[in-house]
Structure 1
Amino acid sequence: MTFRNPVRRVGAPGVAGEREALTAWLAWHRATLLTKLDGLADEPLRRAVLPTGLSLLGIVRHLAQVEQGWFALGFAGIDEPVVFGESDDEDESFRVGPEETTDEIVGTYLRMCERSREIVAAAESLDIAVPDERRGKVDLRWILIHMIEETARHNGHADVIRELVDGTVGD
């Protein structure tokens, strides 16, 4: 089966309030990630073309956990198991198991993104801060900026992987 991106990319507005601008840029980068998968069958989505073993589907899997970690678990304080399970291995979130399907991984990513959007929309202010192990505290604004950076960085990885998989380039 060939993957078809279910999300339409919409550019961020040139003039907007802070929350609208941050959420629009994050939405654009989320949708951009899924465009990197568009038109590929399961094997190329799983194919590791870099020495680290990184794959396109592995990036999506990782970012599903990152979305849940920052927004649901970290900011909203929802007590639930980590999607795809917990591990002491920092790179585990990038590894796609043979039993995991593209639909499952992408579906989980889309659900985590939707819930993140809901959490951000429900937050009274971007100034709300939560405890953070490394920084002491982070506010919702920091989390949004970090998620834009995290997703954009992995989109760069996805660009390179996609070009190595089938020669497709683009933003």
Structure 2
Amino acid sequence: MNFTAPGERQQLNRVADERETLTQQLDFHRATLLHKLDGLDDEQLRRPMTPSGLSLLGLVKHLAGTEQGWFLKIYGGLDEPDVFDPDTEFRVRPEESADELIGVYLRTCDRAREVVAAGTLDDVVTTPWGAPVNLRAILAHLIQETARHNGHADIIREQLDGTTGE
């Protein structure tokens, strides 16, 4: 069965305030990642497309861990086990299904939205390596991280079936 992206990407409000601009941009890039998977079957989603073994599902897996790490653990202060082993998060194990990995990503993003909604952009937390960071900077980092990996997803998708576009 082929993957169907849940929902459409929302149009951005180009006159939004700072908080709405940041959260809209992140949601747009989250939806873009899932849009890149649309119509592909399990084999295509997990197929390694680079010498290092990178696949579309590997990107999803990595970004789920990144969302959890920054929003839930660092900013939210939640003490919970990693959703995936950080040393192997770009690789998809044979027993991991597309539904499972995409589900973890969607649930992690939903939880991250809740944590972000409860805070203010000026909230400062300390990273595990001792650096102070505010929610504004975390949002900007996750926008950059997700957009960067969407570029990788663009290239992988084009290699898989020739599909290009935003």
d(CA) in 2 for partners of 1:81, 1:147: 20
d(CA) in 2 for partners of 1:101, 1:78: 26
- Aligned position for 2:140: 145
Task: Please give the secondary structure, in 2, of the residue aligned with 1:93.
Answer: coil
**Offset, 1:134:** 4.7
- Aligned position for 2:45: 45
**Offset, 1:51:** 1.2
Equivalent residue letter for 1:68: Q
Contact 1:72 1:115 in 2 (8 A): yes
Tell me the percent identity. 58
**Offset, 1:52:** 1.5
Equivalent residue letter for 2:107: R
Listed as ranges, the matches of 1:78-93 within 5 Å are 78-84=78-84, 86-87=85-86, 89=87, 92-93=88-89
Task: Please give the secondary structure, in 1, of the residue aligned with 2:54.
Answer: coil
Contact 2:74 2:128 in 1 (8 A): no
Task: Please give the secondary structure, in 2, of the residue aligned with 1:169.
Answer: coil
Aligned length: 166
Task: Please give the secondary structure, in 1, of the residue aligned with 2:49.
Answer: coil
| Residue of 90, 97, 113 corresponding to 1:94 | 90
Equivalent residue letter for 1:26: L
- Aligned position for 1:131: 126
Equivalent residue letter for 1:57: L
Map Cα deviations across residues 43-75 of structure 1 (whole Å, 9 max, x no partner). 010111111210001000100000000000110
- Aligned position for 1:169: 164
Verify: 1:112 aligned to 2:108, yes or no: yes
Q: Which runs of 5+ in 2 are unaligned?
A: none
Task: Please give the secondary structure, in 1, of the residue aligned with 2:122.
Answer: coil
d(CA) in 1 for partners of 2:4, 2:122: 37
Verify: 1:154 aligned to 2:149, yes or no: yes
Equivalent residue letter for 2:126: P
Task: Please give the secondary structure, in 2, of the residue aligned with 1:5.
Answer: coil
- What is the root-mean-square deviation in Å for CA atoms of aligned residues? 1.1
- Aligned position for 1:64: 64
Runs of 4+ in 1 over 3 A off after TM superposition: none
Map Cα deviations across residues 63-117 of structure 1 (whole Å, 9 max, x no partner). 0000000000110111111102x35x3xx11111100000000000000000111
User: What's the TM-score once normalised by structure 1's chain length?
Assistant: 0.94
- Aligned position for 1:8: 8
**Offset, 1:11:** 2.1
Map Cα deviations across residues 1-46 of structure 1 (whole Å, 9 max, x no partner). 1000013201221101111000000000000000100000000101
d(CA) in 1 for partners of 2:51, 2:40: 21
